[in-house]
Chain A
Amino acid sequence: MDNILSILIFFPALAGLLGFVVDKHSAKVYGIAVASIELLLSLGLWAKFDTTNGGMQFVEKSDIIPQFGISYNVGVDGISLFIVIMAALITLLGIILLRDNTKNMKNMIVSLLFLEMTMVGVFLTLDAIMFYLFWELSLVPMLYIIGAWGGPDRVYAAVKFFLYTFAGSLIMLVGLLATAYLYHEATGDWSFSILDWYTLELTETQQFWLFLAFFAGFAIKVPMFPFHTWLPWAHGQAPTIGSVILAAVLLKMGTYGFVRFSLPILPDASVTFTPFIMMLSIIMVIYTAMVAFAQKDMKQVIAYSSVSHMGVIMLGVFAMNAEGLGGSVFLMLSHGIVSGALFMLVGVIYERRGTKLMSEFGGLAASMPVYATIFGVMLMAAVGLPLTIGFVGEFLVLLGFYNVSPLGTVLAGSTIIIGAVYMLVLYKRSFFGPLTNEKNKDLEDLDKRELTALIPLVLIVVWLGVYPKPVLEPIDNSVKLLLTQMEKKAISTETKEAIVISKKEAK
């Protein structure tokens, strides 16, 4: 099991290559099998994971271009572990949910498995060049999924998605190269290892510019206001599976980037930029929630709500304390589970009715009670009901950020109100009221395939809502370690003061 991380990264891609020779009728079964093995492997990783250790585990390192310090370098800690497991889980459930008559099933499966490699790779790699490679490679299968299986405007949406995020990540690449150069200046060695970079001391001006460069890449991916407009297009045109993976996993690459790169490498700039990030995040939370409320299309409501919740995650990342940062990592997971499930649910009704407009529905609770119940559970998780997965992260983020800015927290906290507004209105319009539309009267409730994909998510929503400890504990350890490193590295005293690792120890 020494190379478990490498297996996790490359197994899906290798299996994907083999997928080309699989009979097209058994492509889906093949995909399920591969994704199941991948999920089991990731769970095995969790089982072997030392939950008391906050540092990198299962580290593998071998040089690729030693002259420039570029190496194959992977490792996992409490922050990345669960995102990887979630990526594996969502991929599996997404494949299960694929309709048997999906056209070009084989291509779809291969794209998804390739995508899985890039997702797992992004979260596990510790080398900046490798990170950049996986980051960019993830665009390709997604571009294909939107462009080949999408709606009528799929080409526009796919190109927009690709070019927009690509433009951002090119600037990020410049930042990465600059950091490596500065590392060389300081130490005389070339290294792209993130862990090496954690020890690199940078002046505040250097940090300022590097922060902006990283910001360009990460913020577009998150997507932060005002760089979010590619997302509604992508969701609007993407097939269900595309939206599910986009919302659940791909967006997390942005917030993960902030946690893995911006915070520990540029602690002073991170603190300096906090008010700026706070402002954008609050606009994201409130503005996109209101835009979500104005939507007529169910999927667009979920898409905008997804952006709105990402704003809360961003706040947590910049809370500079274990409660907020840990909460935001947990919220990345819960957002993945919940928004993934919601996109699946929208897909379910779209398959039946060929429309996502809420005005076409009404009274669905009567004709599809099980569907309505699962939707209701996910709705409650989305609005952050205690004892569902959604509450833990949101509560911790707001709690943590309160220490940074009470006013900002109150403004961002309005998410619990306006979030409830658009979700409840959506639910009322679609599920409540009399069943007037003839087409909705004989709709078939969830079938076995859909239940298989959705029930595990429902169980996770409740399980991690009631007992988040197994996940929170490793996150807590890693987050504390990260904050300690930040504090040690920070130049200015203001930064040191802003970082709160433990109040008890401080006093």
Chain B
Amino acid sequence: MENLVYVALFAPFVGSLFAGLFFARSPKTHLVGVVNSTLIAVAFIAAVTLALHVAEHGPIHVTMMTWIGIGDLNIPFGFLVDEVSVTMMLVVTLVSTIVHIYSTGYMDHDKSYNRFFAYLSAFVFSMMILVMSDNFAGLFIGWEGVGVCSWLLIGFWYQKEDRPFEENPSISPSWAANEAFIMNRIADLGMLVGIFLIYWNTGSLQYDVVFDKLPHLADGLLVSIAIALFIGAMGKSAQFPLHTWLTDAMEGPTPVSALIHAATMVTAGVFLVIRANPLYSLEAVHGVSMFIASLGAFVAFYAASMALSARDIKRIVALSTLSQLGYMFAAAGLGAYWIALFHLAAHAFFKALLFLGAGNVMHAMDDELDIFKMGGLKKVMMGSYIYMFIASFALAGLPFMAGFYSKDAIIESAFNDGSYIIWFILVVTAGMTAFYSFRQVFFTFHGEERYKALGFHPHDMYKYVLVAMSPLAILAISFGWFMDSYHEFIIKNLPDYEMSHHTEHLAPYLGGLVIILAVTGIVIAYKKYAGTGENAWKRDEEFEKSFIYRLVANQYYVPQFYDQYIVQPYKIASAKFWEIDKAVVDGFVDFIGKGAYKTGDVSRRMQNGNLSSYLNWMGVGALILVLIAVISSVIG
């Protein structure tokens, strides 16, 4: 079994090296797509085998070698495959396999096909390190590794030039890539501080050692550690106020958005909180956990509100990802760790499906993103339509779909916890989610065929790509059916979360309420956007001028705020510092240098070769010496 751990971990790495070292400079090699997809599939099979093994025999722990050892610090490359990490491994490898196959079609015409696969497989490798490591430093390796791969992949089309913010809020792929990297780095500093605190107070970074010692630490310390680690989680999972990079990250190719910015990397923050559940479930850090839940609920609502009016097909999906991440944090903050993890997996499946479907639409529409220019695509893209419909259904949480089980459980736990405000926000957001998801579906696939006038000739994706997407569709429908057996599997490792009797009693009503809201949302969306001819959607210019619309459409002016109050002042201050460096710091040095030079220049005149002037100077010197002698004798 130990070997399988390494297979699961290193198969993607081999793929990355294969594409990167041997084919980076050749244009497009079909072999690369095939080999890399196969290697990821191998990792997936290894993960499945490991999962079965874990279910039966419990966790596997392997230590490869020492990484950093100095002083008392000893960090190994150690990997832990337990119920939590194997869940993540399954999700990551499965979605990655499908995205790899998908990319062989999607990136077909790209001249950097091989480079793309090198990056994509490297990402999977980093993600596996992140979820499999048995210590915080190992987690941090993966954490930064996925960050770099995300940087490379967001900026994949680096040739594109910068455009003004008003034209394109994410300016250019390379700009968006830098933004994502830097913003994540801010959070990473928080995470590093958490790691330092853990090390100096427990003497180790290994999960098991650390979690054993946590209950013996002072309360204030625990709170600091919890906050520091959560700051790290906020960056990767794009929680407010570090969220703006996620929507801008949509500059990357769509398979990247599906894999990294929906299914896997952005859930790393949630994973961290789940992984550190022995910390976050301590009584002392209850306040932090409640903050996490509240922030999660806020972000769920906040992102959903922006998705209501967004026009960019990828941004809508990105905002809905943001919103769903909020749900996951709400669950984790409330102590329902396993529900958060379950929603994480369910979300990975249907959100990846949704993104890949959106990718198909973009591919068909020559990279057009504006849903106002689409409509009626159902006729030409039946396959993608069905997929996106299923995914939106699951996202909206309609009965018997994956999202129904996982999201409903989160909403119920908020109610159960007595956090009625969080519960209320999450319920309202559920209705909004249904509305904006179907708004997008109806805008794209129903209604008038607005694209025709604009000269597009859409066609659906390759058949094999559509077939490859089918596992995601199946899971988007059926994943929730396995909730009970998953519950049994996961509570061996995560604390159980049982609804109280009171909530259980009300559960059908609570669920019913959510469904009613969701259906209402869908019906409104249908009425507004799906009609043709007489009932066709018409643009409401008046509404688009209203304050509330502009506020939401401009992302609540947060990016502008960052630019104006952080980026620009930083630029100005930097330029000022440079001036100071030249004028004052260096100027002072030159002043001393010139002073010495001048003194020499002036005193040089004493040496004029005139004997009598020399005698005069000698007299002056002798006089000074005598004076000094007198004064010193008086003092001394």
Contacts and interface: CB of A to CB of B under 8 A. Distances in A.
A428 B178 contact: yes
A164 interface: yes
13 contacts: A291-B578, A293-B574, A326-B71, A366-B159, A369-B24, A386-B144, A396-B70, A396-B73, A414-B189, A417-B185, A428-B174, A466-B67, A503-B203
Contact of A365 (B72, B158, B197, B588): B158
Interface in A96-110: none
Contacts of A431: 158
A386 B145 contact: yes
Contacts of A45: none
B550 interface: no
B161 interface: yes
A247 B431 CA distance: 60
A472 B67 CA distance: 10
A15 B588 CA distance: 42
A365 B192 CA distance: 32
Interface of B: 24-25, 65-73, 137, 140-141, 144-145, 148, 151, 155, 158-162, 172, 174-175, 178, 181-182, 185-186, 188-189, 192-193, 195-197, 199-200, 203, 570-571, 573-575, 577-578, 581, 585-586, 588-589, 593
Given A386-B141, A428-B178, A432-B158, A229 B578 contact: no
Contact of A287 (B25, B68, B70, B577): B577
Given A164-B589, A421-B182, A428-B174, A326 B70 contact: yes
Contacts of B193: 402, 406, 409-410, 413
B593 A163 contact: yes
Contacts of A373: 24
A226 interface: yes
Contacts of B70: 322-323, 326-327, 396, 472, 475-476, 479
A326 B68 CA distance: 11
* Chain A interface bracket (under 10, 10 to 19, 20 to 34, 35 or more): 35 or more
A399 interface: yes
Interface string A190-218: 00000000000000000000000000000
Given A365-B158, A369-B25, A386-B145, A294 B577 contact: yes
A102 to B, nearest CB: 30
Nearest to B141: A386
Of the candidates B144, B155, B161, B593, the one having the most CB atoms from chain A within 10 angstroms of its own CB is: B144
A181 B193 CA distance: 45
B69 A476 contact: yes
Given A369-B25, A417-B189, A469-B69, A229 B586 contact: yes
B578 A295 contact: yes
Interface in A205-260: 225-226, 228-230, 233
Contact of B66 (A321, A327, A409, A469): A469
Nearest to B573: A290
A475 B68 CA distance: 12
A380 interface: yes
Contacts of B573: 290
A94 to B, nearest CB: 27
Contacts of B68: 392, 395-396, 468-469, 472
A433 B140 contact: no
Contact of B203 (A163, A400, A504): A504
A164 B593 CA distance: 9
Interface string A472-507: 110110011000000000000000000000111000
Contacts of B185: 416-417, 420
A409 B200 CA distance: 13
A389 B52 CA distance: 38
Interface string A438-462: 0000000000000000000000000
Contacts of A409: 193, 196
A271 B155 CA distance: 46
Given A428-B174, A434-B161, A472-B70, 10 more contacts: A160-B589, A291-B577, A294-B574, A396-B68, A396-B73, A403-B200, A409-B193, A410-B193, A424-B178, A469-B69
Contacts of B159: 363, 366, 432-435
A163 B68 CA distance: 41
Interface in A343-398: 363, 365-366, 369, 373, 380, 385-387, 391-392, 395-396, 398
B158 A417 contact: no
A473 B71 CA distance: 10
10 closest cross-chain pairs (CB), A and B: A322-B71, A432-B174, A229-B586, A402-B196, A294-B574, A386-B141, A432-B158, A294-B578, A290-B574, A323-B71
A391 B73 CA distance: 15
A64 interface: no
Nearest to A436: B161
A256 B196 CA distance: 26
Contacts of B161: 433-434
A228 B73 CA distance: 34
A17 interface: no
A425 interface: yes
Contacts of B578: 291, 294-295
A433 B162 contact: yes
A481 B492 CA distance: 46
Contacts of B175: 428
Of the candidates A326, A421, A432, A467, the one having the most CB atoms from chain B within 10 angstroms of its own CB is: A432
Contacts of B178: 424-425, 428
B549 to A, nearest CB: 33
Contacts of B593: 160, 163
A413 B192 contact: yes
Nearest to A468: B68
B574 A323 contact: no
Given A290-B570, A387-B145, A425-B178, A473 B69 contact: yes
Nearest to A409: B196
Nearest to A321: B71
Of the candidates B66, B71, B172, B189, the one having the most CB atoms from chain A within 10 angstroms of its own CB is: B71
Contacts of A466: 67
B581 A385 contact: no
A291 B70 CA distance: 34
Contacts of B586: 229, 233
A163 B585 CA distance: 16
Nearest to B581: A291
A409 B160 CA distance: 38
Nearest to B183: A417
Nearest to B143: A386
A100 B275 CA distance: 57
B145 A472 contact: no
A223 to B, nearest CB: 11
Nearest to A372: B158
B354 to A, nearest CB: 29
A414 B197 CA distance: 17
A385 B585 contact: no
Contacts of A323: 70-73
A479 B574 CA distance: 37
Interface string A157-189: 000100110000000000000000000000000
Nearest to A445: B25
A160 B596 CA distance: 13
Contact of A229 (B174, B181, B585): B585
Contacts of A469: 66-69
A116 to B, nearest CB: 29
Nearest to A403: B200
Interface in A68-92: none
A385 B144 contact: yes
A14 to B, nearest CB: 37
Contacts of B158: 365, 431-433
A502 B571 CA distance: 43
A365 B24 CA distance: 13
Nearest to B155: A432
A282 B158 CA distance: 34
Contacts of A432: 155, 158-159, 172, 174
Contact of A386 (B65, B66, B140): B140
A261 to B, nearest CB: 22
